[in-house]
Homo-oligomer: A and B are copies of this chain.
Amino acid sequence: SSRILLNIEDYHQVAKEKLSKMAYDYYRSGADDEITLQENVDAYRRIKLRPRVFVDVSHHSTNTECCSVTLLNGQTTCSIPLLIAPTAMHRMADDEGECSTARAAVRANTVMILSSLSTTRIEDVAQAHQQALKQYPTSTSQLWFQLYILKDRAFTKRLVERAENAGFRALVVTVDACRFGNREIDHRNGFRLPENMQLENLYDAGLKQAQNEHVSALNDFIANNLDASLTWSDIKWLRQISRLPIIVKGIMTGEDAQLAVQAGVDGIVVSNHGARQVDTTFSTIEVLPEIVTAIRTISNKKKIDIYIDGGIRRGTDILKALALGADAVLVGRPILWGLAANGSQGVFDVLEVFKRELKLAMMLCGCVSLPSRNMPTSSLVTMPKSKL
């Protein structure tokens, strides 16, 4: 349509119209009563910015690199401190699914984290990414691979090797999903993947049979195949089978952040899985300060990257997350809305919206550069007292 799409919510609305109810509900929904789903967004609205004025921010107009960040101790550079979160089943939103997303990541010059539950094979996404890089040779975009460690360790090892061989540059191990959360709308819709799609990477693991069945078949598969006995010592095993940097995704407490550091990870993602696992947990931005402090407390030579996701919908949200100690943010649903609205171009446009909004927010708040973990927090944002 010729409607003007200005912000992420605009893309959401178009996506809602274009997607089947089943796919839209799958993408949108959260666990139980979706209280945390709402909180993830609302919490940002309660955090207040303290704009500074009469600061020379003129370089933002010309310098296209003013929002770029370096991650993983220099191994990665993004043009914006915003990465594409791993989300399952992109082909429900777009025919070329994860490939379209990968191409947009290249064009927008950021990282795409591919989900284990993708509807496109690891190698095919890698190839689409490679080809796009040829078209945009200055792009430093990378692919990272999101991993579920399965009971079948041999199979898991194969997945990791495939990703590494295909050129993926980091492993993002999701640690908050020993089971899937209670997303009721999927049960009501009898959610299943459309006939012509499957979870390509898990094919060999036996999902093929399950996927054309009802949602409970999918949940059963997960329950049967995901390894609920994982502990922090399993990070060692991963180190043995791969030389890729390891980021753990799903940290919600200072205690676990410290365990992650002690386990030797390269980064953590503060995440409640987009509020799809435990309901009535905190919004992620509310726990970020606790986690930043916990990590600072146990001094550690190696710098640990801190990412955060959940509820980021505006440029000001990114600014707040960084001011509170994140190195970069991940976004999940906004990417899916862009993809459903207009394929690869839609994803690119969504990323551009974030970039434009972030830049404007920086200028209007008098930020010469992106806020960093060493900046005193209170200078740019004021955290709300817990509303509880």
A255–B364 touching, CB < 8 Å: no
B364–A176 touching, CB < 8 Å: yes
A48 at the interface (CB under 8 A from B): yes
A234 at the interface (CB under 8 A from B): yes
Using Cβ atoms and an 8 Å threshold, which residues of chain B touch A217? none
Q: Give the complex CA separation of A127 and B181 in angstroms.
A: 40
Q: Give the complex CA separation of A53 and B181 in angstroms.
A: 14
Q: Give the complex CA separation of A279 and B6 in angstroms.
A: 16
B365–A278 touching, CB < 8 Å: yes
Which listed residue, B47, B176, B364, touches A51 by the CB 8 Å rule?
Answer: B176
A229–B58 touching, CB < 8 Å: yes
Kindly state the interface size class of chain A when it binds its partner.
35 or more
A49 to B, closest residue via Cβ: B281
A296 at the interface (CB under 8 A from B): no
A61 at the interface (CB under 8 A from B): yes
Using Cβ atoms and an 8 Å threshold, which residues of chain B touch A188? 4, 6
B278–A58 touching, CB < 8 Å: no
Contact with B along A22-59 (1 / 0, CB 8 A): 00000000001101000000001111111111111110
A231 at the interface (CB under 8 A from B): yes
A314 at the interface (CB under 8 A from B): yes
Q: CB within 8 Å of B: which of A265-295?
A: 272, 277-282
User: What are 17 A-to-B residue pairs whose CB atoms are below 8 Å?
Assistant: A7-B32, A7-B184, A48-B282, A53-B251, A53-B252, A55-B231, A61-B228, A178-B363, A178-B364, A181-B360, A181-B364, A278-B316, A278-B361, A278-B365, A280-B316, A384-B386, A385-B385
